[in-house]
Amino acid sequence: MLVGGKGTRLRPLTISAPKPMLPVAGVPVTEHQVGRAREAGVTRIILGTSYQAEVFSDYFGSGEEFGVELDYVVEDVPLGTGGAIRNVADALESGPDDPVIIFNGDVLTGLDIAGIVQAWRDADADVAIYLTRVQDPRAFGLVPTDADGNVTAFLEKPQTPEEIVTDQINAGCYVFRRSLIDEIPNERPVSVERETFPGLLARGAKVIGYVDDCYWLDLGTPLAFVQGSADLVRGVAPSPAVPGPTGEALVLADAEIASDATVTGGSVVGRGSHISSGAVLASSVLFDEAVIGEGAHIERSVIGRGAYIGAGAVVRGAVVGDGARVEAGNELLDGVRVFPNQTIAPGSIRFSSDQS
């Protein structure tokens, strides 16, 4: 599993924790992935870490508690997605022709993991790439295939309409023949998407696409993050690791919710959090120990650990960092990010039509 990225698009949440360790539906993204891999029969997982590496080993330890054997390989300098795959080679126990499954650490998916390995075997492929179809592929790596499912090109983040030749995108999970991992250049940054895959095609390797239209979401942006969390809570996204029954809300231990507050849309109320009278929390994520004041309205937002939202404040499509204070009467709308421990003074940000 590749978990070493900096997660810049999710700042400021990723200042205090690496993206794969941020809690979605109560537990780290990686825990959902480990749970699904275990269900598919995977017994040993290596985490390719770099940014805040120790946070992973502190939480997952040997993996015993999570039903798998976990090993960690740390990059002193980030090696990129391809370099990270090469860097774990010494820790692999597989033979040269065995399959090695690689997961991006920020993807939620219902992928049939055993299915993609079987497709790789059936095709006697060098690499199988999980592909999903999206309506707007511009932010992704396009991967067209021929009638037999062979990958014909890699078009990373296409800009012009002529480049949009397919709606199939790289969904961030691969099966590699082990020997090909050993061939990735060592000890320099390599992008698997921009260098390794195009290089394999150029030299005639057999690279197949495995199109699966099951649930898929890249959790890289704040809006996707709240969407993924809500989908897990409501049972739309499959995971054996959600710590509670699926439904409109996941309320974690020691949280307090006033009887006339509304918590809906797959929201998560973190451990020890407090939601005051008349407040509304819709499709949002409250990390642990957050406090929501009376009548505040939180929608499609992430509220960091220990953050405070004052009475009557509106937070919609925004991210509030750990320990920040959004005092009463503020209105934070789409895309606003409040940094950790920052204070927004009472009534200083408003966007309503009554603004003077």
- Hunting for tokens 């062979």 — which residue is that? 150
Among 3, 46, 171, 208, binds ligand GTP (CB under 6 A): 3
Distance set, CA 134 to CA 166, 177, 196, 204 (Å): 10, 27, 23, 28
- Between residue 207 and residue 226, which ones bind ligand GTP under the rule CB under 6 A? 220
At a CB cut-off of 8 Å and minimum separation 6, what does 356 contact? none
CB of 77 to ligand GTP, least distance (A): 8
At a CB cut-off of 8 Å and minimum separation 6, what does 316 contact? 297, 298, 299, 300, 301, 332, 333, 334
Nearest 10 degrees: Cα torsion 22, 341, 344, 298 = 20
| Interface with ligand GTP, residue 6, by CB under 6 A | yes
The residue (of 81 and 132) whose beta carbon lies closer to ligand GTP is 81
| Interface with ligand GTP, residue 33, by CB under 6 A | no
The residue (of 196 and 267) whose beta carbon lies closer to ligand GTP is 196
Among 30, 33, 52, 104, binds ligand GTP (CB under 6 A): 104
The residue (of 2 and 282) whose beta carbon lies closer to ligand GTP is 2
**How many chain residues bind ligand GTP (CB under 6 A)?**
23
CB of 192 to ligand GTP, least distance (A): 9
Structure tokens at 319: 């991210």
The residue count for the chain? 356
Among 12, 13, 17, 19, binds ligand GTP (CB under 6 A): 19
Buried-exposed string 305-335: b where 16+ CB fall within 10 A, e elsewhere = bbbbbbbbbbbbbbbbbbbbbbbbbbbbbee
CB of 187 to ligand GTP, least distance (A): 13
Contact 78, 50 (CB under 8 A): yes
| Interface with ligand GTP, residue 322, by CB under 6 A | no
The residue (of 105 and 310) whose beta carbon lies closer to ligand GTP is 105
CA nearest to 46, candidates 86, 6, 88: 88
Q: Where are the alpha helices (DSSP H) in the chain?
A: 13-16, 29-39, 53-60, 80-87, 113-122, 178-182, 197-202, 222-233
| Interface with ligand GTP, residue 177, by CB under 6 A | no
CB of 293 to ligand GTP, least distance (A): 31
The residue (of 102 and 291) whose beta carbon lies closer to ligand GTP is 102
Q: At what angle do helices 53-60 and 29-39 cross, to 10 degrees?
A: 50
| Interface with ligand GTP, residue 28, by CB under 6 A | no
Binding segment for ligand GTP (CB under 6 A), chosen from 48-56, 137-145, 148-156, 246-254, is 48-56
Among 12, 23, 35, 80, binds ligand GTP (CB under 6 A): 80
| Interface with ligand GTP, residue 135, by CB under 6 A | no
Radius of gyration of the chain (CA): 21
- Give 298's strand partners: 281, 315
| Interface with ligand GTP, residue 81, by CB under 6 A | yes
CB of 246 to ligand GTP, least distance (A): 25
The residue type found at 207 is V
| Interface with ligand GTP, residue 102, by CB under 6 A | no
CB of 227 to ligand GTP, least distance (A): 16
Q: Where do contacts with ligand GTP occur on this chain (CB under 6 A)? A: 2-9, 19-20, 48-50, 75, 78-81, 84, 104-106, 220
